[in-house]
Amino acid sequence: MRARIGSPRPRDLWLAFAVCHLWLITLNLIGPTSALGDVTGIYRWWMQQGLGGGGWVGVDEPWVYPILAAVPMLIARLGGGEFYGTVWMLLVVAVDAAAFALLLRRCRGRSVRPAWWWLGFLVALGPIGLGRIDAITVPLALAGLLLVVARPALAAVLLTIGTWMKVWPAALLMAALASRRATSRASHAIVAATIGTSAVVVA
């Protein structure tokens, strides 16, 4: 009997995930098309400036990003200045893995083509798929969309966090509220979670 196309074992999908991300990391570290310029240059400099007492972007001076964008940038600083780019990519892989696990769980009993599409999208993006703040907000947004029906409040928290990093996930929040599938209870949960998360951020 032929195996049904689009239904590989989970370990095959995780192997593909690992190969995809190892390839992107390799291209960024030793390839001719590294996309870590913003990460190792601008992001690292912003964090070094703040830690060195020169003032925090978004707090002491205007910034191009919402304030929570500084969180992954600061986490990457745990590796020190020399390994900033490496820690950043490992952080992205960890967030991607969490979203990928949720995606596979959502695909259980269904086609896993969405998982293959996402990996294909990352491969098509190339090194830049790990080299921008959007590398953090995209998996957050994906997780939020996957949870919006079953766990609307948690979905709203994730999308709100993403919005406080890069603004565009706000459009997904609005779409979730406007969806015909959104019940009154779900809509109230989304609004409450959005307001609550935002209040914590600005407090």
Say yes or no to pLDDT of 17 above 80. yes
**Phi, psi torsion values for 61, nearest 5 degrees:** -155, 155
- Residue 180 makes CB contacts below 8 A (sequence gap 6+) with none
pTM: 0.88
Site of tokens 């009993």: 109
Query: pLDDT tens, 168-188?
Result: 999 998 888 777 566 677 777
DSSP class of residue 167?
S
Say yes or no to pLDDT of 4 above 60. no
- Quote the percentage of the chain above a pLDDT of 90: 60
Give the DSSP per-residue string, 103-148.
Answer: HHHHHTTS--HHHHHHHHHHHHHGGGGGSSTHHHHHHHHHHHHHHT
SS3 category, 179: coil
Average pLDDT over residues 25-44: 90
CA angle at 58 for the pair 56 and 62, rounded to the nearest 5°: 105
Average pLDDT over residues 130-146: 95
